[in-house]
Chains A and B, each alone.
Chain A
């Protein structure tokens, strides 16, 4: 089973919201100082899904990542968890892309890698939360796409995928090759191990620029965007505290109910 997992390096979503800043002129998020970037947590769920299949049925897991100035100690984490190879689309030309240009570049890279049975992606990247890239890759490669997986089994050469829905889940089956996006309901990703870290440190990733995957520079990164960010801002949340008073507990309660009704918290 040949598996490819798409992983994205993002600013740490666990960093305090106040530590993020926005460059309003370029519509870019300025990474919080003092908080190293991480791999998008949903992508690590995707890595875990691939490694479970590898452990059960054998195969290889290739990690594919797009960006610029990727940090080895971050982007190699899936190797430390047990993945086999790392392919980086790393070039200034890949910066500033949207879901379309990212999916387009990743699809080109996957074609360049060649043989694959399953492509795994996180359900969405935890920085922009667009959730478009996985389905976009499947569309460009003309293969089936199943989203929001919470479990993946390989049965008789087909993938059986449990999908997370609002109040229940469904199990669907697909022929391979296919693309599967994975949700956090799959369970916690395994830890890297010291043995994995030592092996990962010695491994050199394959690095490709746009030309290496047959991608015209005009279609990469910001140049290849189909969408444009018009405004990027941090919502301002204000909290006001009002002390409701009264002569007796009953009166305080009555006054509180009145205030809540005035603020339309209650509709009766």
Chain B
């Protein structure tokens, strides 16, 4: 087995490190984070969003790393998921919050690039907008008051009670109505990629369609969610009241939206590898702390209980890293061979990596609290912010239980097939 990176990947890693070393301004990021959380309007969120950072990320080519080169992007010709997973970890390690404005475009535009139902014209439509405007922000919105995981799983048995935002055709336009509970990046987005029901009766897996909704369209209302912590882009509740979009804003085929969700999931591993980079940095900070902090007359790292915790954290960090990278690699193998990645077995790689990260990160914080002791809650140490972050993303994508159910089912399928 060859775990080494290619020359190109090593250069991308070095670029991510250099960019973050020069651009990461933690004080500014903390201020942006606090103001984004406190904002009550999207205008307030937009006023603090680091558009200058977005432009710099675009200039070096990192912002468009998931878009294929033929559309003006900078995605590698092969191993895109592994490269994104690796780059996200590096940005998370060196740049912390710089990973925020990268994630939605990396994950979701990669999904659009890979999905078989998205046409060339539809790809060109969004990719050209994204490439031509370095300040363009995109968002996604699926979860609703009546169901989040239900939509993603899906529980088709729920029929039309799941996914209640609707879209119907009126002439050459689609008309959107309903409410969404969550919209990642919604506070600052120019376009929201919205999941809507386009068949009134069919189960959700056969009734979903995605549309690009301009946030300045008449009839749309965005209200920031009040969360403990938040990405720079802000998270919103959205209300659609007869919002009209032309046919060109359709993504993929009508009623084939669940396939697009699958494509998003298979591109999702960088979403937690960025957090893994943050966790690695905290681990290293904690190791130095344990060497210097005196307890019982000697550095606390010399106490067996502390050393064992450090060892457990090291093992778990490496186990998560291996699972995430292996998952990204597995998905890339299918892509490299010209096939569609997500089948039954590849759900395992996405869901297992996500679920394991979520479990490990909570245990990591528990052990880190024991090592930092009373100082763990200090705002001068990195643990408190990270704890809020993993709390925030604990239910991102799917809940852990559902991820594990999918992982278990697809693990069995994978090995039954040999």
Contact = CB atoms under 8 A, between A and B. Distances in A.
Contacts of A73: 7, 10-11, 14
B22 interface: yes
Contacts of A72: 7
A72 B14 CA distance: 12
A193 to B, nearest CB: 5
A101 B132 CA distance: 51
B300 to A, nearest CB: 20
A257 to B, nearest CB: 32
Interface stretch (B24-32, B57-65, B153-161, B340-348): B57-65
Interface string B61-91: 1101100010000101000000000000000
A36 B18 CA distance: 13
A195 B76 CA distance: 10
Contact of A194 (B7, B15, B18, B22): B15
A194 B11 CA distance: 9
B290 interface: no
Contacts of B22: 188
Give chain B's interface residue range (CB within 8 Å of chain A).
20 to 34
Nearest to A79: B11
- In the complex, which of the residues A36, A74, A188, A201 has the most CB atoms of chain B within 10 Å of its own CB atom? A201
B8 interface: yes
Contacts of A193: 59-61
Contacts of A201: 6-8, 11
B213 interface: no
B19 interface: yes
A76 B62 CA distance: 19
Nearest to A73: B10
Contacts of A198: 8, 69, 74, 76
A77 B6 CA distance: 15
Interface in A24-60: 36
B60 A192 contact: yes
Contacts of A197: 8, 11-12, 15, 61
B338 to A, nearest CB: 21
A64 interface: no
Nearest to A194: B61
Contacts of A36: 14
Given A72-B7, A201-B7, A194 B65 contact: yes
A51 to B, nearest CB: 15
Given A188-B22, A191-B19, A80 B11 contact: yes
A104 to B, nearest CB: 31
A188 B74 CA distance: 24
A77 B14 contact: yes
Interface string B1-45: 000001110111011001100100000000000000000000000
A80 B16 CA distance: 13
A188 B23 CA distance: 12
A188 B56 CA distance: 15
A76 B12 CA distance: 12
Contacts of A188: 22
A195 B74 contact: yes
Given A72-B7, A201-B11, A191 B18 contact: yes
A200 interface: yes
Given A72-B7, A73-B7, A201-B7, A194 B74 contact: yes
B14 A194 contact: no
A236 to B, nearest CB: 20
Contacts of B15: 80, 191-192, 194, 197
A204 B19 CA distance: 26
A37 B288 CA distance: 24
Interface in B259-310: none
A97 to B, nearest CB: 26
B62 A194 contact: yes
B18 A76 contact: no
Interface string A165-198: 0000000000000000000000010011111011
Nearest to A202: B8
A194 B10 CA distance: 12
A154 B59 CA distance: 27
B58 to A, nearest CB: 10
Nearest to B62: A194
A144 to B, nearest CB: 33
Contacts of B59: 191, 193
Contacts of B60: 191-194
Nearest to B19: A191
A36 B90 CA distance: 14
Contacts of A191: 15, 18-19, 59-60
Contacts of A76: 7, 11
28 contacts: A72-B7, A73-B10, A73-B11, A73-B14, A74-B14, A76-B7, A77-B14, A80-B15, A188-B22, A191-B15, A191-B19, A191-B60, A192-B14, A192-B15, A192-B18, A192-B60, A193-B59, A193-B60, A194-B12, A194-B60, A194-B61, A194-B62, A194-B65, A195-B61, A197-B8, A198-B76, A201-B6, A201-B11
Listed from nearest, the 7 A-B pairs whose CB atoms lie closest are A194-B61, A194-B74, A73-B10, A201-B8, A197-B11, A191-B60, A73-B7
Given A193-B60, A194-B62, A197-B11, 7 more contacts: A191-B18, A192-B60, A193-B61, A195-B61, A198-B8, A198-B76, A201-B11
